[in-house]
Amino acid sequence: MSNPYTPSISKTIAGISFTHPSELKEKLYRIYSSLYELTRLDRDTLRQFAKEFGKDVRKLKKAELVEAIWTAIESQSQKNDEAAKFLLDKTAPVNAIDIAVLMDKGLSAETVRDIILASLRTYTDHNGTVHKYEASTVIKTYLPKINTILLGYGDDGARIHYLLNKAVEPERNMVHAITKGNTVAKHNNLKPLSSSAIVEFISDTVSRCSGSSVNWLNVGLALALLTGRRQGEIFGAGKFVKVDATHVLFSGQLKTKTREDVGGYTIPVLDADWVMSLIDTLTELGKRGRELGYVNKTISTCYSRNADSLKALGLDSFKDSRVSYALYHCENTKPLTMSDDSYRSVLMGHGSNDIETGLSYVKYRLVA
């Protein structure tokens, strides 16, 4: 009972055969509520949808695929506002389309749980080799997505949700224990970050923006160090507006933990003009407003392969720029009435009562 998810047209999971996507034709007409959602898909996924609508996709470019699919969906007049429930997530071992098929089979809640569990724990690559998913990947990445999808299916989905999460409780406890241990270890062995070296790097990068020798990787990193925003917000969804010399209005936060009230909010920065200069340069270089998938894959890969600036500053990853930003402002702009933990949560855009998330970022100490 462990045949895993593979992105093929015909597949078998836990002994049950499925055809994808032809038997889902009626549901596919209702998947997307906006043209924007379609543009976020990769070309291979778009081609699958276009074929389902009877389109010849052999020579179509991405924009043409989007237009063809959108026209077909509009002609059905079956768009709805609950598109997220059916969103095809090709990164997950069991995606929304798979679950939609399972829910249509009339299977027991226990059987659906077993099928999902089997696909979460192992997968087979294109060579037929069986691999095991890492427990941390399952618990932190895939399970939350699957839970969201299941809870969209009323009482039946809620029952499967309960059984599935009860079954993975040992893995969840293990992952949480490891995470807690790693956090404690980081707190007991903080690595030094030089504030002067970071400010010098940002200043030097800004000065290069007016020339032709600027490296866009450095521009993105400098902007992250200045604002503490995520990679997807720097290169994609984030919007920055100057408020005064040392503050900018930020909007477009990507991770909100189901909060619906996260709009624009003001964040402190070392120099607002520097922020705007870096934004303009990234835009001119064609590195702003990119799709999240492109940022997560292509841009992340560029940073991992060209990590000289990160290493020179003592950072382990691009994400650590958020830590550097929080450390600097906890030392220089924090109100006297707030603790470092509370202020760090405010700076990073966490919930007003969410201090615990910020603790996982503690791994450095600021030095001159």
Sign of CA dihedral 347, 348, 354, 356: negative
Can you tell me the mean pLDDT for 356-362?
63
Residues in the chain: 368
Least confident range from 119-123, 185-189, 249-253, 306-310: namely 185-189
pLDDT of residue 221: 95
pTM of the model: 0.55
Lowest mean pLDDT among 60-64, 71-75, 82-86: 82-86
List the domain boundaries for the chain. Answer: 10-33+80-173, 191-367
Amino acid at 39: T
- Is the pLDDT at 78 greater than 50, yes or no? no
User: How crowded is residue 341: how many other Cβ atoms within 10 Å of its Cβ?
Assistant: 13
Residue 279 scores a pLDDT above 50: yes
- Residues 6 or more apart from 102 whose CB is under 8 A from it? 112, 115, 116
Q: Which CATH class is domain 191-367?
A: mainly alpha
Render pLDDT for 92-129 as a digit per residue (tens, 0 to 9): 566 666 677 777 777 889 988 888 887 777 665 556 66
Q: How far apart are CA 270 and CA 228, in angstroms?
A: 11
Model confidence at 352, pLDDT cuts 50, 70, 90, reads low
Q: For residues 1 and 110, is the Cβ–Cβ distance under 8 A?
A: no
